[in-house]
Amino acid sequence: MRLIDERWGDWDSIRNHFAWRVPESFNIAGAVCDRHATDAARIALYYEDEQGQQARYTFRDLQRQANQLANALAGLGVGRGDRVGLILPQRPETAISHLAIYKLAAIAIPLANLFGPEALRYRLSDSGARVVITDGENLSKVREVREQLPALEHILLVGAPPDRDEISFAQAVEQASPHRTTADTRADDPAVIIYTSGTTGNPKGALHAHRYLLGHLPGFELSHHFFPQEGDLAWTPADWAWIGGLMDILMPAWFYGCPVLAYRGRKFDPEKALHLMEKYQVRNVFLPPTALKMIREVKNLSGRFRVNVRTIMSGGEALGEETLAWARETFRVSINEIYGQTEVNYVIGNCEKVLRVKPGSMGKPYPGHEVAVIDDDGNVLPPGKLGEIAFLRANDPVFFKAYWNNPEATSEKFKGDWACSGDLGVQDEEGYFWFKGRKDDVIISAGYRIGPTEIEESLLKHRAVALAAVVASPDPLRGSIVKAFIKLMEGFTPGPDLAREIQTFVKTRLAAHEYPREIEFVKELPMTTTGKIRRRDLRDREEERKKNG
């Protein structure tokens, strides 16, 4: 079942042996559910909510309900190519909705619970969604903008009694036939639109085909040490509306017929996360860096929780050496960092079993993916040269098809066959990639080009710093200076003495031109729905502040 054989040997041998085998016909629902449903007892999902209510579902349970929902949606007129918005947390209905949409050869639009009405309006309008599936907590936001969504015809409501003209999700499923043949789709047929975080300009809808599941598998297998192994059970606190939650855990684990834990909580609670990992004997976990840093703050962790994970994968922001060392000591496993983006995901990373991990690096390209650092003209740069990280399209199935209704942005994404990430990086002599920051996050101070990541990692090594973000702040002499926004660890009091201590700490560990000349202590940092710090918000605020004196 695996794409990669452990007997192939070391990292280079694995890459040399690997070759893509993408079938002409492929449907995600068939691959992750239907083919496992022949075993009536095979568990697919464990579910728990904040009140402690629990449930479990076999693959056959999911197949039956997905068939019923697909039939109900078809009765509402949903067919091949139609868009269906999903505004739901981690819960069984979310996964069932994905399967039903794929079974119809329709297109899923996963949308985060954190989105406000305007964010939902833009995405639902841009995609032309005909149906929205949501719950009681999100319904008011949809109602607020519904008149501005002429394409929206129906709302299916999960876990709450319908009002006005909404349709009960449970009743729609219950009244529909459990029998349906999954649509025959080509691997290149569209399956999902996932919107970018919108860190620059309006969010863009990355249209992915059914084949993109296959493109995630080499990285998934290796970052989880030759997944699957006996007893594997996967979980992530990441929202399934994010490509990281959906395609870095849920769908790949189901491709191999392994169970997944779903937990419906309003916000990430590190102690609850540890409790769940212990209770359900989670073996494979995807923890974004912010979640890891919050878990690190839990007091007497090892004495209070018996967590026995086999693998930890992390991605979304670079981890520093301190966090990696802490995790190795605490959980007795090495974190495998991975790198990708909404358009081209899970393409670089680590596998400590067969690749020496260099703390702070992103790792190397996973089998089947070709990555380079290029200049502004699309030329591949030699090792050690700073440039833009880019991915070679070729026949790689993980690539997005296009930005939805945005051919201009699609064209701008590419330089020849290279898809530009917008991220700056360096590839070293051994082939490891090192993230240096976003192109638009680069700080130019007194002629120096400074990436924020290295400074942020240095800040996080200070005993008082819990979270940090570094941006350019306008300066009449240097053009810009480095400014740090810092959230402190519990027990530390902000003040000028602590600020000077932190400045000296960084200045003595990096270069004199890189230390933050200004520090602002904050209670919270602005985050995207995927858990990344929105440096642009901080940068815009700084520009406005300096402009107004």
Categorize the per-residue pLDDT at 195 as very low, low, confident or very high, splitting at 50, 70 and 90: very high
Mean of pLDDT values over 265-276: 92
pLDDT tens profile 48-79: 999 999 999 999 999 999 999 999 999 999 99
pLDDT score of 233 = 98
Which positions ≥6 away from 238 have C-beta within 8 Å?
Answer: 244, 245, 248, 249, 286, 288, 530, 531
pLDDT at 199 > cutoff 70: no
Task: Please say which residue of 175, 193, 209 terminates a domain.
Answer: 209
**Can you say how many angstroms the Cα of residue 444 is from the centroid of all Cα atoms in its chain?**
29
pLDDT at 32 > cutoff 80: yes
Mean of pLDDT values over 532-547: 86
pLDDT score of 197 = 64
Residue 263 domain-assigned? no
pLDDT score of 529 = 65
Instruction: Please tell me the total count of domains within the chain.
Output: 2
Categorize the per-residue pLDDT at 447 as very low, low, confident or very high, splitting at 50, 70 and 90: low
pLDDT tens profile 297-314: 899 999 999 999 999 999
Nearest to 245 by CA among 262, 233, 258: 262
Handedness of CA 6, 12, 17, 23 (dihedral sign): positive
pLDDT tens profile 370-420: 999 999 999 999 999 999 999 999 899 999 999 999 999 999 999 999 999
pLDDT score of 513 = 76
pLDDT score of 186 = 98
pLDDT tens profile 500-521: 999 999 988 776 778 999 999 9
pLDDT score of 40 = 96
Task: Please say which residue of 193, 209, 225 terminates a domain.
Answer: 209
Cβ atoms within 10 Å of 7's Cβ, excluding its own: 8
3-state secondary structure of 195: strand
Categorize the per-residue pLDDT at 198 as very low, low, confident or very high, splitting at 50, 70 and 90: low
CATH at 526: 3.30.300.30
- Of 216-230, 290-304, 520-534, which has the strongest mean pLDDT? 216-230
DSSP letter, residue 335: E
pLDDT score of 114 = 81
Residue 411 domain-assigned? no
Radius of gyration of the chain (CA): 23
pLDDT score of 360 = 84
pLDDT at 173 > cutoff 80: yes
Residue 63 domain-assigned? yes
CATH at 117: 3.40.50.12780
Residue 399 domain-assigned? no
Cβ atoms within 10 Å of 453's Cβ, excluding its own: 21
Enclosing domain of residue 65: 42-209
For residue 109, CA distances in Å to 149, 168, 182, 382, 477 come to 15, 20, 19, 39, 47
pLDDT score of 533 = 85
Residue 310 domain-assigned? no
pLDDT at 346 > cutoff 60: yes
Categorize the per-residue pLDDT at 532 as very low, low, confident or very high, splitting at 50, 70 and 90: confident
Categorize the per-residue pLDDT at 467 as very low, low, confident or very high, splitting at 50, 70 and 90: very high
pLDDT score of 44 = 98
| C-beta separation of 251 from 33 below 8 A | no
The whole-chain average pLDDT of the chain stands at 93
Task: Please say which residue of 144, 179, 209 terminates a domain.
Answer: 209
Q: What stretch of H or E contains 453? A: helix 452-460
Residue 462 domain-assigned? yes
Q: For 95-109, 343-357, 373-387, 450-464, which range has the lowest pLDDT when averaged over its residues?
A: 450-464
pLDDT score of 290 = 78
pLDDT score of 478 = 80
Cβ atoms within 10 Å of 224's Cβ, excluding its own: 29
Q: Report helix angle 496-507 to 452-460, nearest 10.
A: 120
For residue 240, CA distances in Å to 177, 235, 389, 471 come to 27, 11, 26, 29
Residue 119 domain-assigned? yes
Q: Report helix angle 59-75 to 92-103, nearest 10.
A: 60
Secondary structure of 391-447 in HEC code, one letter for each residue: EECCCCCCCCCEECCCHHHHHHHEECCEEEEEEEEEECCCCCEEEEEEHHHCEEECC
Residue 231 domain-assigned? no
pLDDT tens profile 80-106: 999 999 999 999 999 999 999 999 999
Threshold 0.75, pTM exceeds: yes
